[in-house]
Amino acid sequence: MFQRLLRPLGALSLIGFVWLPAFAKPIAYANGTTVMAEYGAGTMREFQVFYAPRYFLSAGLGHMALDSDVNDGSMDISYARLNYLVKRWNMEKAQANIFGWGSLGSATTSDENSNRLAWNAGLQVDYETRRTYSSFKTDYYYSASAFARRIDTLQLGVAPYEHDYSTLATWFVVQARHYTGDMYEGVEVAFLLRLFKGNAWIEAGPTTDGKVQAMFMFNF
Amino acid sequence: MRVFILMIVLVLHSNAAGAETIEIKVNGLVCGFCAQGIEKTLRRNPATVEVLVSLEERLVAVETKEGQDIPDEQLETALRDSGYDVTEITRSNDSLNEIRERLESDAQ
């Protein structure tokens, strides 16, 4: 029974989390709230809210709607997630982090109206200066007797100038992503322009398939 | 002469009492978006008047209300809660505008 419930949501969770903004840090700051909305290449719309009671921990809720590219299927997912800062290195002119997270969710599909259950666990390692950014993220998705899949994401970013606290930041980011489990053949590449100033962050760009990906994030 | 010395002492004491600016050197300060928590956290302190953040100088400056101070422990906690590590804390009579001008001058 439990395995049967897990199966479809696991698949949905897998697809949904692929589009999470890997560049962003999942924890803002103590007593900080992060709101994020994303439009992913015509197939995904997502909204997330995270609250961090401590600088190393955040918890939140999200909702995502997916429309399949290859058939008429659609799905809605609601989930709860915990993010944890495993380790941070604050250097003189750089910062590096290791984050871990886990989530549990419920979903409905166009095929069935019943709710499904699955879980996800992931890890992110990042290193950034005021001119360069690099991150590697790996996500593992499991649904009993349905699948066990992994998605690896590498991001490399460069800033044409060093922004300061009150000035606009501009970044050019290349993203490469590899999927296991028959989700995507080869490596998917996207080119993103990222802008942020104050507590607002926006990014957009094309994938190599010619689709648009966009994301907005706000901290308060 | 004694009056003159007394006046100098009073003036110096007055300036010391008005030493309302705290300068904090911070490690890890590389992203303006991520550093928003510093300003938010420090502004929550009742002694804070204004906060200045400079990524270039790795500096956070806090102007406090006259005659008030924020203990080092509170500053270190505030910066840690914002995601950063404090390396040095100093206090001066410089106003936040003077510090801002100094930073602009250093940048040129």
Q: What integer is the mean pLDDT of B68-74? A: 94
pLDDT interval class at B25 (50, 70, 90): very high
- Do the chains contact at A201 and B30, CB–CB below 8 Å? no
Identify whether the C-beta of residue A165 lies closer than 8 Å to the C-beta of residue B54.
yes
Give CA separation, A51 vs A47, A56, A177, B6, B69, in Å.
14, 11, 28, 55, 30
Residue B56, pLDDT > 50, answer: yes
Nearest C-alpha neighbor of A79 from the set A155, A13, A176: A13
Residue with tokens 């804390």: B89
Taking CA atoms, A120 is separated from A21, A100, B48, in Å, by 16, 11, 42
The two beta strands, A147-158 and A132-143, are: antiparallel
d(CA B60, CA B21): 10
Residue A214 backbone class (left: φ over 0; alpha: ψ -120 to 50; beta: rest): beta
Using the Cα atoms of residue B20, residue B26, residue B31 and residue B36 in order, give the sign of their dihedral.
Answer: negative
pLDDT given at position A185: 67
The b-or-e profile of B70-107 (16+ CB within 10 A means b, else e) is beeeebeebbbbbbbbbeebebeebebeebeeebeeee
User: According to the model, what pLDDT value does residue B47 have?
Assistant: 94
Nearest to A119 by CA among A106, A110, A108, A109: A106
Q: Which residues of B touch A54 (CB under 8 A)?
A: 81
Per-residue pLDDT, averaged over B51-66, amounts to 94
- Contact check, Cβ <8 Å, B37/A28: yes
Checking phi first, is residue A182 left (phi over 0); if not, alpha (psi -120 to 50) or beta?
Answer: left
In A, which residues are within 8 Å of B31 by CB distance?
Answer: 95, 128, 130, 169
- B59-80 average pLDDT score: 94
Measured distance CA(A189)–CA(B36) in Å, rounded:
31
Q: Which two tokens stand for residue A195?
A: 């802008």
User: Is residue A134 predicted with pLDDT exceeding 50?
Assistant: yes
Residue A197: its chain B contacts at CB < 8 A?
32-33
Look at B81 and A29 and tell me if their CB atoms are within 8 Å. Answer: yes
CB atoms within 10 A of CB A39: 16
**Which pLDDT score, from 0 to 100, does residue A97 have?**
95
Residues found in chain B: 108
Q: Say what the pLDDT of residue B94 is.
A: 86
Residue B95, pLDDT score: 86
Question: Is ipTM over 0.90?
Answer: no
Instruction: Tell me what pLDDT residue A17 has.
Output: 36
Q: Assess contact for A205 and A193: CB atoms under 8 A.
A: yes
Instruction: Mention every residue, 6+ apart, whose C-beta is less than 8 A from residue A139.
Output: A17, A18, A120, A121, A122, A150, A151, A153
Q: Assess B35–A contact: CB distance below 8 Å, yes or no.
A: yes
pLDDT tens by residue, A36-88: 888 766 666 778 899 999 999 999 998 877 676 656 666 677 889 999 999 99
Predicted confidence (pLDDT) at residue B46 exceeds the cutoff of 90: yes
Choose from A51, A85, A90 for mutation: most chain B CBs within 10 A: A90
Q: Write down the pLDDT at residue A6.
A: 36
pLDDT for the residue numbered A23: 46
- Which chain B residues contact residue A94 at CB under 8 A? 28, 30
* Cβ contact A95–B28 (<8 Å): yes
Measured from the Cβ of residue A42, the count of other Cβ atoms closer than 10 Å reads 11
Q: Do A88 and B37 touch (CB under 8 A)?
A: no
The whole model's pTM is what? 0.79
Residue numbers in B near A55 (CB within 8 A): 80-83
Q: Name the helix (H) or strand (E) containing A137.
A: strand A132-143
Cβ A54–B30 below 8 Å, yes or no? no
Q: List the single best residue of B24, B26, B36 to mutate versus A (max A Cβ within 10 A).
A: B36
> Over 70: is that where the pLDDT of A131 sits?
yes
Mention every residue, 6+ apart, whose C-beta is less than 8 A from residue B105: none
Nearest CA in chain B to A128: B30
Which pLDDT value is given to residue B33? 87
